[in-house]
Amino acid sequence: MRNFLYILILVAATSCSKKMLPSETIVKDSTATSIVYIPKDSIIKIAGDSVTIHDTIPCPDAVYHKQVTSNKGTLKATVDINKGKLNIDCKQDSLQQRISWFEKEVERLKNHFEYKQIPVPTPVPTPYIPKWVWYLTAINLLSLVWKYRSFLLTTIKKI
């Protein structure tokens, strides 16, 4: 009987403990990628170039001179034949041109969110027992003592 009473007290003491949940951490990583086209201007330079050919031809009495220019004026060719010698000279001017173009740029935006949830212990309301229940319990206890008074008196005398 005494052991049963100790076990009952132990169960009653441990059953009313507050339970704390472990804290919870949520981590979210996200990456957003966007492609942006940026207009840019640039100047392109192409260097000039020239070609010269010297040769002899079997006709020593031929004389010829001709100069040709392209429509844009950037290429000139000259042909000279004099005393059996052939000279061909071709010259190209340098080119400098301004161009507009788009440059593709990839932008990456990385977001790192860390959400930590800490549980807050909720207060446990104390049970409320109305006064009329206490009164009824007292009346019931007194009536039990009155009903079993002879048994209680003999038990107390034996102790």
42 band by pLDDT with thresholds 50, 70 and 90? confident
Place of tokens 């409320």: 128
Q: With 0.85 as the threshold, say if the pTM is over it.
A: no
pLDDT in tens, 93-122: 887 788 888 888 888 877 777 777 777 777
CA atoms within 13 A on the CB side of 20: 5
Count other C-beta atoms under 10 Å from residue 80's C-beta. Answer: 14
Q: In the structure, what pLDDT confidence band is assigned to residue 22 with cuts at 50, 70 and 90?
A: low
- Tally of structural domains, the chain: 2
Contact between 96 and 44 (Cβ < 8 Å)? yes
Q: Are 56 and 85 in contact (CB under 8 A)?
A: yes
Residue 138 structural domain:
129-159
Given pLDDT bands bounded at 50, 70 and 90, which one contains residue 141? very high
**CB of 156 closer than 8 Å to CB of 145:** no
Kindly state whether residue 53 falls inside one of the protein's structural domains. Answer: yes
Per-residue CA distances from 47 to 28, 79, 157 (Å): 55, 23, 130
Is 38 within a domain? Answer: no
